[in-house]
Amino acid sequence: MRVAVVGLGGVGGYICASLAKVSTDVVGFARGEHLEKIKQDGITIVEDEMSWTQPVDVKELSEASGYFDLVIFCVKSYDLVDSYKLIEGYCDNQTVMFSLSNGVSNGDTLRELSNSVVLDACVYILSHIEKSGVIRKKGKVFALVFGGDESSTCRVDEIVKTANLRTKTPQDIKTAIWKKYIFISAFGTLTSYYDKSIGYIYEHHKYESEEVLKEISDVARALHVELESEIQKALDTASRVPYDSTTSMYLDFKNKKRDELKTLSGYIVEKAETLHVEVPYMKKMYEELLKRHID
């Protein structure tokens, strides 16, 4: 099975290197200095006190060729459509693909664009590019969560497990994705709005945190996804992470980079309007963050 991993950041770099350990039929797609360093030296994974390096067949996406049985998109949500368009010519209706971008609608986006088999998915991992060619993974956290078409889910599960990567294949994949989304949507919005860490938000803005979480849960319920029990779990998680922990959206705002505001905040506001759900806290924060947003 020939596999494409599109985007070799903290998520894609770790997955691509892990798969390449056990198969030569894996192609990674990256760009810039990161791409050149991987071409030269492979991907180095630093896991706490341990590190390992894996040679990888890596290219720019515009250099894609051949046919792919499996495509894993590990790009930011705002790059998903353009990335798909660059690789669609090397896929067909037998190709399985999924996106690990933040958000709950990436599978829907791919299904609108493609006649391939699209699974829904998300990933739990703490990782980032430390420097070109080097991925820093923190702690033991890793779970690749996916589902949808049963036979395709089983095929992907077998492939990923050969690389000793932990998987989860829940029957209700939609709810599973929302369970991750409620935390990153709420705390991505809150940390960016207040320009503070998760620990600070929990300590000084716990009431607003709970209200934002409730608003996301209300939107999910209107979409037939029950998340009420996740509100306290998200607050508990916020209370346990290191005080100075931040979010990827916060870091994008801080570093004046393109951000996922529309995916993590705007999606809730827009769905709430369509579904006639009141989300005053999220709406206020989203409208303020739009003023600072870089598209």
Contacts 24+ apart (CB under 8 A), 274-277: 275/219, 275/222, 275/223, 277/215, 277/218, 277/219, 277/222
State how far the Cα of 78 lies from the Cα of 110, in Å rounded to an integer: 13
Residue 285 structure tokens? 């924060």
Whole-angstrom distance, CA of residue 72 vs CA of residue 145? 12
SS3 letters across 115-166: CCEECEEEEEEEEEEEECCEEEEEEEEEEEEEECCHHHHHHHHHHHHHCCCC
pLDDT tens-digit profile, the chain (295 residues): 899 999 999 999 999 999 999 988 999 999 999 999 999 999 999 998 899 999 999 999 999 999 999 999 999 999 999 999 999 999 999 999 999 999 999 999 999 999 999 999 999 998 889 999 999 998 888 999 999 999 999 999 999 999 999 999 999 999 999 999 999 999 999 999 999 999 999 999 999 999 999 999 999 999 999 999 999 999 999 999 889 988 989 989 998 999 999 999 999 999 999 999 999 999 999 999 999 987 7
Please name each of the domains of the chain with its CATH number: 3-171 (3.40.50.720), 175-292 (1.10.1040.10)
For residue range 157-207, what is the model confidence (pLDDT) as tens digits?
999 999 999 999 999 999 999 999 999 999 999 999 999 999 999 999 999
Output the pTM of the full model.
0.93
Q: Are 155 and 1 in contact (CB under 8 A)?
A: yes
pLDDT tens track for 106-131: 999 999 999 999 999 999 998 889 99
Which whole-number Å values give the CA distances from 195 to 236, 244, 289, 292, in the listed order? 21, 12, 11, 12
pLDDT at site 18? 97
Q: What is the pLDDT of residue 190?
A: 98
User: Cβ distance 260 to 249 under 8 Å?
Assistant: yes
Helix (H, G, I), strand (E, B) or coil at 72: strand
Whole-angstrom distance, CA of residue 125 vs CA of residue 279: 29
Whether the Cβ atoms of residue 204 and residue 193 lie closer than 8 Å to each other: no
Three-state DSSP at 247 gives coil
